[in-house]
Amino acid sequence: MKKERHPLAIDVEGVSFAYNQRNVLEGIHLKIPQGSFLGIVGPNGSGKSTLIKSILGLLKPNEGTVKLFGEEINKFDSWSRIGFVSQKANSFNSGFPATVFEVVSMGLFGKIGLFRFMTKKYKQKVYEAVKQVGMEEYLSENIGQLSGGQQQRVFIARALVSDPDLLILDEPTVGVDAKSVRNFYTMLKKLNNEKGITLVLVTHDIGAMSEYVTEVACLNKCLHFHGNKETFENKKEEMMSAMYGHDVNLLEHNHEHDHHHHDHDHDDVWRDKQ
C-alpha cells in the first residue's frame, strides 16, 4: 500500500492546545520520519503528555493538524500500527480481575475485529510479547497483584503485541528497576534498528535516553529544540538551562563534568548495577 511508504510517521503542524483557556502547547511543528527514535524531554507540566495525547487523537487541538503516516488523525484507522504506553497506564483500578494474559491480549483486540476471538495464532503472539518483557512466569497472575514495575512491563507488552510500526511511550520506565531499564532501552533500540519501528519516548532520564535515541525534542509549551542527537549533545547545557532554569539538580550534575566525562560516568553506574 502507498500509505505504508509515507515518509513521515508523525506530522504535527501548528498544534496549539489549551486546558480551560490556559495554553499548554503553542504552535508546535514536529515532523518525525519513519524509522527515527525520538526522545522528548521537558520539565513537569511542560505539555509532553498533552502533545502525545494530541498526536494520538485523544485530545483535540484548538489549532493545527496531526497526521499519522500521512493520514489526517480523525480519518486515521490503521490503529494496529500504533502502540501506546500511557504515563498513567498503571493507575487502573487495581482490583480489576484480569490476568497478565488478558491485559496483553487487549493490545490485539483492535486488530482481531468484531465477532472474532483469540485464535491460537493470536495467543502465540501474546506469549511472545510477554516473553519479550520477561514476564512469562506471570501469565496467569492477576495484574493488580504485580509490583508497579512489573505492571509497567505488562503494559509495554500490550503495546508491542500488535507489531506496531509506531510505538509511543510516555515515561514507560517509571518504577522499573535500573537493570530492566537498561534492557528495555536495548530492546527498543533493537526494534528500531532491526524492524525499523518508529519510536517516540517521553522521559526525564536524559542521560540514559541520549545513548539510544537518534533525535531529541525539547518541549516547554513551545518546541525549543528538535534535531538529531549530536546537535542536541552540543547544545545540551544551553538547552537545559533555557528549559529547566539554573537551580535544578540535573544541571548541577552537568556543571561538574564535561559531556564525555559525564557519559562515561553514567556508563559505569549502569555496569555496576548489571
Ligand X SMILES: Nc1ncnc2c1ncn2[C@@H]1O[C@H](COP(=O)(O)OP(=O)(O)OP(=O)(O)O)[C@@H](O)[C@H]1O
| Footprint on this chain of ligand X (rule: CB under 6 A) | 19, 24, 42, 44-50, 87
Which residue number, 14 or 45, has a Cβ lying nearer to ligand X? 45
Which residue in 30, 38, 103, 181 binds other proteins (CB under 8 A)?
103
DSSP state of 44: T
65's enclosing H/E stretch is strand 63-68
Residue type for 106, please?
Answer: M
In the shown chain, the binding pattern of residues 60 to 79 toward other proteins, with x for contact by CB under 8 A and - for none, equals -----------------x-x
Q: Please tell me the distance from the alpha carbon of residue 112 to that of residue 182, in angstroms, as a whole number.
A: 32
Report what 110 binds from Mg ion, other proteins, ligand X, none; CB cut-off 5-8 Å by kind.
Answer: other proteins
Which residue number, 58 or 269, has a Cβ lying nearer to ligand X? 58
Q: Please tell me the distance from the alpha carbon of residue 61 to that of residue 143, in angstroms, as a whole number.
A: 34
Which residue number, 15 or 161, has a Cβ lying nearer to ligand X? 15
Interface positions, 131-170, toward other proteins (CB under 8 A): 140-142, 158, 162
Q: Where are the alpha helices (DSSP H) in 30-177?
A: 48-55, 100-112, 120-132, 148-160
Q: Please tell me the distance from the alpha carbon of residue 198 to that of residue 34, in angstroms, as a whole number.
A: 5
Which residue number, 69 or 244, has a Cβ lying nearer to ligand X? 244
Q: Distance from CA of residue 50 to its chain's centroid? A: 13
Q: Please tell me the distance from the alpha carbon of residue 129 to that of residue 227, in angstroms, as a whole number.
A: 32
User: Judged by CB under 5 A, does residue 220 bind Mg ion?
Assistant: no
Binding site for other proteins (CB under 8 A): 56-58, 77, 79-80, 82, 84, 86, 88-89, 92-93, 96-99, 101-103, 105-107, 109-112, 114-115, 117, 140-142, 158, 162
